[in-house]
Amino acid sequence: MRELVVRQLLGGQIWFGCAAVLLIIIAVDVLRLLDGRSGAVRAGRFLLVLLVPLSALTGTPVPLYLVIALAILWLSYAFAGFQNESQWLRRGVGAGLATLVLIAVVRELPYHARPTIDAGSGPIYVIGDSISSGGFGETLPWPDLLARMTGLAVVNLAQPSETTRSAMQYQVPKLTSDRAVVLEIGGNDLLDGLPAGAFEQQLDELLGALRPEGSDRPVLMFELPIPPGRWAFGAAQRRVARRHGAPLIPKRLLVDVLLDPGLVADGLHLTDAGHRRVAQIVARSIGRQKVVDSRK
């Protein structure tokens, strides 16, 4: 149960659950369905307080302007609008808060949908760190399995311990064509405590090198699972991805792999089953059906 909760938190699904519960509370309050039910009113107030830190724990990078607006209306509703005798105040503040929550949900939904790119006839280049490089006891890393699954040539440039800066220095120069690139990078920047601003600058340089002005190279990137307190890091990755037209593979998919004991060997590096799962995720995101059994 604990593992499931952590997975849902880091994957961002609980964020949507918090939004749904808040909308339900507002609806039943505005419709006066809680009036006269002291136990239900206490539960509603408790949930209003609980939902804020719970949603923050998901690491969902909501834009700062939206966070400020949500905080102001949430505080107004929690301490003035909820169960207020004035229907105007109750409905007005509640409707305003519900509108902002729906705006936030609509903004977040696209980041949880699986993207697809046209990888053409290959080759596909993989730029990444130890999750992609292999060398930790597995039979084959996921880029090699991807080649078997899709029948496309896959050039694995990933190296252990790489960051956005070192990938720019050592991996990007090895690209020999303008074919598709899959990026699995940034985890070491996050673990090393790199400031979000520096990460954004380095990732922007990396994407700029992969997709210079006028380039139509397809680039697919894994979104990083973001721990609480590092929201700016996730927001930076999303801004750079939008700027360069690089769709993000939802973080929940990588979280499901990294938090499955059967898919990781040491809490981070993948087992054979883990590499197979990641290869399947990427194969689906490039619109390729499995044409060769990856277990062979």
Average of per-residue pLDDT across 69-93: 89
CA separation for the pair 253, 267 (Å, rounded): 16
The string of pLDDT tens digits covering residues 219-266 is 999 999 988 888 999 999 999 999 999 999 999 999 999 999 899 988
Average of per-residue pLDDT across 183-194: 96
Nearest CA among 277, 248, 259 for reference residue 142? 277
The string of pLDDT tens digits covering residues 83-126 is 988 888 889 999 999 999 999 999 999 999 999 999 988 799 99
**290: confidence class by pLDDT, cuts 50, 70, 90:** low
Residues sharing a CB contact under 8 Å with residue 41, sequence separation 6 or more, in sequence order: 34, 83
Residue 77 reports pLDDT greater than 70: yes
pLDDT above 90 covers what percent of the chain?
68
- In this prediction the pTM is 0.90
Per-residue confidence (pLDDT) for residue 291, from 0 to 100: 46
Q: Between β-strands 181-184 and 248-249, what pairing exists: parallel, antiparallel or unpaired?
A: unpaired
Contact indicator for 51, 104 with CB cutoff of 8 Å: no
How many C-beta atoms surround the C-beta of residue 99 within 10 A?
Answer: 12
Average of per-residue pLDDT across 76-83: 89
Average of per-residue pLDDT across 193-216: 94
